[in-house]
Amino acid sequence: MTEEMSALPGPYGLVLAGGESRRMGRDKGLIEYRGAAHRQVLYALLRSVCARVFLSVNAVQPRPEPERFEYLVDQPEYAGNGPIGAVMSFRDAHPGIAVLLVSCDLPFFGPEALQALVAARDPTRPATAFLNPENDRPEPLVTIYEPRFLEHLAVHFGRGVRSLQRILLEDPPALIQSYDPRWIYSADTLDDVQRARAVLGGDAAARRA
């Protein structure tokens, strides 16, 4: 754990891997980019800065190797509501703890991206997020959510709000604006996966040269 992280409460890590993957047609968290299921790669990455890390899954997903991975299952009252359901489930299980959320479908998210997020963390703001250049909005699925944000999440959920991004727009986070936009690239289709693998393979070859 870095000095910056240890000086602040939390966060715990949460790899968001409980989506239905309708566009992909298969479990996105089990796709390999670096020789292992990507959700496992991200889990190990977050372990480098977080005291505890969880794989966020839905109730019907298998949960192999429980001795190796901690799982956080979507609670029934939040199931079927997307990422906000996972964050609500985390909030109920670990009140008062910040969460570093990373979606499992980000093939380019690695150590450099993680360190940029950690270094930018501002616990006086509700969250810390990357500014997505495609829509000029905070990216809600690569984000550190502070207890302040989590405490008020139930109010929004009770009002029918299911978009983390919408809530972030109402209570603006600290924003990271200068970074490699590939870090938040989401591989949502098989074509996206193939493109990401081609780029990662090229990057690896360049490093070996």
Phi, psi of 200 (to 5 degrees): -65, -35
Phi, psi of 131 (to 5 degrees): -85, 120
Residue 79, both tokens: 């199931």
Cβ–Cβ < 8 Å for 105, 193: no
Residue 18, both tokens: 């409980």
Strands (E), the chain: 12-16, 53-57, 71-73, 99-103, 127-132, 137-145, 174-176
Tell me, what's the pLDDT at 107?
96
What domains are there in the chain, each with its CATH number? 3-208 (3.90.550.10)
Share of the chain above pLDDT 90, in %: 78
Tell me, what's the pLDDT at 129?
98
Cβ–Cβ < 8 Å for 192, 186: yes
Residue 32, both tokens: 């390999």
pLDDT in tens, 94-149: 999 999 999 999 999 999 999 999 999 999 999 999 999 999 999 999 999 999 99
pLDDT in tens, 141-180: 999 999 999 999 999 999 999 999 999 999 999 999 999 9
What is the edge-to-edge ordering of all strands in the sheet holding 127-132? 71-73, 53-57, 12-16, 99-103, 137-145, 127-132, 174-176
How far apart, in whole angstroms, are the C-alpha atoms of residue 71 and residue 19? 14
pLDDT in tens, 77-92: 999 999 999 999 999 9
Tell me, what's the pLDDT at 187?
93
Assign 65 to helix, strand or coil: coil
Assign 191 to helix, strand or coil: helix
Assign 175 to helix, strand or coil: strand
Per-residue pLDDT for 204 more than 70?
no
Query: Shortest CA distance to 150 belongs to which of 9, 4, 44, 55?
Result: 9
* Beta pairing, strands 137-145 & 127-132: antiparallel
> Is residue 4 very low, low, confident or very high in pLDDT (cuts 50, 70, 90)?
very low
Phi, psi of 148 (to 5 degrees): -55, -45
How distant, in Å, are the alpha carbons of 14, 72, 78, 174, 176 from that of 117? Answer: 14, 23, 27, 10, 8
